[in-house]
Structure 1
Amino acid sequence: MLGSSRLTMEASNPALKSPPSPLRADVLGVIASLTQQMWPGIPVVPTMSTGATDSRFLRNAGIATYGVSGIFTEPSDARAHGLDERVAIPRLYDGREFMYRMVKQFAQ
């Protein structure tokens, strides 16, 4: 069947393009400041995630969207989305505290 002219395929959910969110100094400043308060010496480095997100809908509506996580894992213990996915409890609480402080600062 493969290679047959009778076989056709089409995307049922085509990719939705969206503009990138700008790297705003005020946003990165809050994140960097909190990071230094909680984890001195850890740099904040913008990255692009390979994962899927719904932020494309917000960006297409003109709303800059950022993904931020205060949860650290050891590279040797990376188990995201695996059968044994886990996060150490102290790191989960640290991440929650980071997010709480970040939202509080942005809300002021």
Structure 2
Amino acid sequence: MDVSASYHPSRVEGEDSFDALLVSALALEARYALDVFTYVPYVGVAGVFYPTGPSSERAPTGEVLGLRATLGADYRYSRERSLGIAIDLHAPLTAPQNLPLYGAIRAYLAWHFRSF
């Protein structure tokens, strides 16, 4: 699970113009990782909730749901904590004409919990 925010600068060229946006997201991700190494590559897919997304006629209160595909790597300096970097591809589902597919690169600090 992660919480994030991204800034999308305005674009005013031609018919594809849009205002600048600050989009926040709450994601729950399923991940496949090889965590027997110090450097752990992984792939993931997440369902995303966007509490502050763009609005449109189809979604007057803003984007609500989306998907995210991730390719990343963790540096596991302990069994419970890691530093990581990831490349994400976001696909908002409610009104994709307002915020189409977009990519992001992120760095993060993670805590890992084991249930067994």
Common fold: TM-score over 0.5: no
Bigger relative contact order, structure 1 or 2, given CA contacts below 8 A and separation 6+?
Answer: 1
Write 1 or 2 for the structure with the bigger share of strand: 2
TM-score by length of 2: 0.27
Write 1 or 2 for the structure with the bigger share of helix: 1
